[in-house]
Amino acid sequence: MPAVIAGSDATSKLIASSLSGALKARLVEAVYKVFPDGELYVRVPDDLQDPVMVVKTMSPPQDSSIVESMLLADALAGIGLEDIILVAPYLAYSRQDRRFLRGEPVSVSVVLKAFRASGYRRLITVEMHKPESLKYFEGDAVNVSPYRYMADRVELPESPLILAPDRGALRRAMDLASHLGVDYDYLVKERDRVTGEVKIKPRDIDARGMDVVIVDDIISTGGTIAEATRELKRIGARRIYVMVAHALMAGGAVEKLRGAGVERVYATNSLPPRGGELVRQVDIGPLLGRVLRDEGWC
């Protein structure tokens, strides 16, 4: 019987429980401790059989989330398992997918290679910044797009304009717009590679009097969505809704989005809930279960 092990954090536990329910898989507990010097300790039950799914989202503190998931893989390999699947709803470091400036690492490649080396044979994640980055994981890997699934489970305004905050997010907007049978468009974003500051350039978009749904992979500092919202309001858009896979909400993101006039943010539960009434989460566990079954991984 396939088994699901949750990482030590509340978000991973929630998704693991929903995933095991969807797959009718055994939900098992690992032992987690932190040594007095800050190092992690894990121990898995020694009666497991292949396949085993480790549900561990790479939420902050990202580095210890990554180490914990690697320790779990090695622990499972140590009891003789081979079909070890990492279910990582949020995959940290995926935005550093190239050397933007000379002297930088390709962080996503480092992390994915480390997962493989620690014992994971397969990997499933939700809406990576660029799904092509999964090529760095030398095993089976799947990226799950959540927007259609989310749209069927939340209240969106009638006939909204779907908008990508930059050209990189266009495929997301196209996919959601085609699911809803409505129009889509995109904004043009520039980010200062040193300060991180975001500027949205004006474009001739017909959003006057319209409700808009901005689609993106992630809200981190909130700069992108706040700037896009301001620009849309400037050109006469009515209510602004946001749909993202991952609501990280770093620093003052919630205040930034409220200040810009965002009506509501819909996100998966890949990260801990932040933002009170502004942010509604959709449980991603059942969708992950469906994809794992479709792939024939369990």
Binding site for ligand R5P (CB under 6 A): 95, 129, 165, 168-169, 198, 216-224
Residue 118 DSSP SS3: helix
- Work out the number of other CB atoms within 10 angstroms of the CB of residue 111: 24
Q: What is the closest distance, in whole angstroms, from the C-beta atom of residue 249 to ligand R5P in the complex?
A: 9
**How far does CA 270 lie from the centroid of its chain?**
6
Contact between 244 and 281 (Cβ < 8 Å): no
Which of these is catalytic: 33, 189, 201, 256?
A: 189
Closest CA to 52 of 87, 18, 21, 17: 87
Q: What is the closest distance, in whole angstroms, from the C-beta atom of residue 99 to ligand R5P in the complex?
A: 16
Rounded Cα gap, residues 80 and 235, in angstroms = 60
Write the single-letter amino acid at 195: T
Residue with tokens 């095991």: 20
Q: What is the closest distance, in whole angstroms, from the C-beta atom of residue 85 to ligand R5P in the complex?
A: 26
Contact between 186 and 215 (Cβ < 8 Å): no
Q: What is the closest distance, in whole angstroms, from the C-beta atom of residue 246 to ligand R5P in the complex?
A: 9
- Please indicate whether residue 256 is annotated as part of the active site: no
Q: What count of Cα atoms within 13 Å lies in the side-chain half-sphere of residue 271?
A: 27
**Which residues are tagged catalytic?**
189
